[in-house]
Amino acid sequence: MARNVIDNIRKYFWITLFKNSSLLAPVLTFFYLSRGLDYSKIFILYTVIVISMFIFEVPTGIFGDKFGRSKSIQLGLFGWIIFGIGLLFANSFWTFFMLYILFGINMTLSSGSDEALIYDSLKQTKKEKKMKKYMSKIVSAKFIPLIIIAPIGAIISKDLTYLQFNILLIGNIVFAISAFCISLALVEPKINTGPHEVRSPIKLFFSSLSDIKNSPTLVKLFLNKTLILIPGMHIFALLWQPYLKESGIPVAGFGFLIAICAVFIWFFARKIDKIETIISDRKLLFLTGILPLISFILAAFFRNIFVAIMFYFIIRIMVWAREPIFSHYINQHIRSKNRATVLSSLSMIDSLFDIIIFLTAGFIADISISYTFIFSAGVILIALISFRIREKHIN
């Protein structure tokens, strides 16, 4: 049984790989624009995702804790198949609106349950101290397929036509089906809930809020992560394509930039143990926050190929490097019996920040992408100053 449980790591690596295999990734923003959306509507759609996640985060986290993390993951992956099919026929804002409600639900079904499944699988085999190592490998799986898939997607969609976009969408549906099939083989790890404890949804929810309230270190880690993640991943994800195009980089070249960046991230993920011997986690977390801040400021004032390429690589690599470190330390402050619910509750809180930041960024982006980059730098600065990570927080 223990062997089957530890195999969850390998299985979830492949699930992550296929789930994040997107032919559309190099031209996603152009896809939205081609379907009649402007920047403010795109950011509104991402706000719809956030509100949907806010509503469903805790219920799906409770579902994962009560009925099984593997079942929650499987249901979410089935939803991704439906979402991909829906995009083929989406030609209006309101169609996208409904699909992105489903997007948010899909996100919540894996949010919390995925890390809980991995951590408790490791804990059952007494390997939980290796969470950072295994999570870095799993996170690297998000980038491995981009080495091949992103250049192909960029080349196929070089003219940004309706047919080309649909070809990419069909490929994404195939990848989603592959991830779902692999998820059916996940094994549910044992969870120590205490003798004869009844794990009611209400009890799980309030115990998760109590755990968060009584752990100021957990709150500080979470806020530092969130306020850098939102601009460094989500705002960046929507604006890097038009920014690079304005800076003189052809669309067909986007895929190759993604592929090269994916190679670097995959290499670093495999060497995470050696990196730890060179630089401490505290210094690494500061470095991976300050460099994106500087990159956003430079991108706000310069439109040239050199700055654009530097902007893309620094933010993608630095924001990725934070993820496995935070997964390790945040999970250390959460009990197994309500891990998925606590993580989902944190994601629900994250949604409040998302709503405010997304709507503000969307309004600013219609005025100027440069102003949005300055706004992003300001949010990161708040995280670095107000929620600074010290040595005592990660020991």
Residues 311 and 235: beta-carbon distance below 8 Å: no
- The residue extents of the domains of the chain are 2-188+201-394
Residues 310 and 298: beta-carbon distance below 8 Å: yes
The per-residue pLDDT for range 276-295, each reduced to its tens digit, is: 678 777 788 888 899 999 99
Q: Name the token pair of 292.
A: 């994106």
Using CA atoms, how far residue 184 sits from 69, 152, 178, 255, in Å, is 12, 29, 10, 31
- The CA distance from 95 to 15, in Å, is 28
The residue count of the chain comes to 395
Range 194-197 contact pairs with CB under 8 angstroms and sequence separation of 24 or more: 194/337, 197/337
Those residues of the chain that have pLDDT short of 70 are 1-3, 112, 128, 132, 191-206, 269-270, 272-273, 276, 333, 335-340, 392-395
Residues 186 and 77: beta-carbon distance below 8 Å: no
Indicate the burial class of 287 (C-beta count within 10 angstroms; 0-12, 13-18, 19 or more). middle
Q: What are phi and psi of 119, to 5 degrees?
A: -65, -45
Rounded (5°) CA angle 209-388-298: 120
- Report the pLDDT value the prediction gives residue 174, as an integer from 0 to 100: 95
The amino acid sitting at 138 is: I
- Report the pLDDT value the prediction gives residue 198, as an integer from 0 to 100: 46
Range 347-353 contact pairs with CB under 8 angstroms and sequence separation of 24 or more: 347/53, 347/57, 347/61, 347/108, 347/111, 347/112, 348/53, 348/54, 348/57, 348/58, 349/212, 349/222, 349/226, 350/222, 350/226, 351/50, 351/51, 351/53, 351/54, 351/57, 352/54, 353/226, 353/227, 353/230
Nearest residue to 151 (alpha-carbon basis) of 85, 250, 4, 12: 250
CA atoms within 13 A on the CB side of 252: 4
Fold classification of 2-188+201-394 is Growth Hormone; Chain: A; (1.20.1250)
The per-residue pLDDT for range 317-365, each reduced to its tens digit, is: 888 888 777 777 777 767 666 666 777 777 777 778 888 888 888 889 8
Indicate the burial class of 188 (C-beta count within 10 angstroms; 0-12, 13-18, 19 or more). middle
One-letter-per-residue 3-state SS of 218-260: HHHHHHHHHHHHHHHHHHHHHHHHHHHHHCCCCHHHHHHHHHH
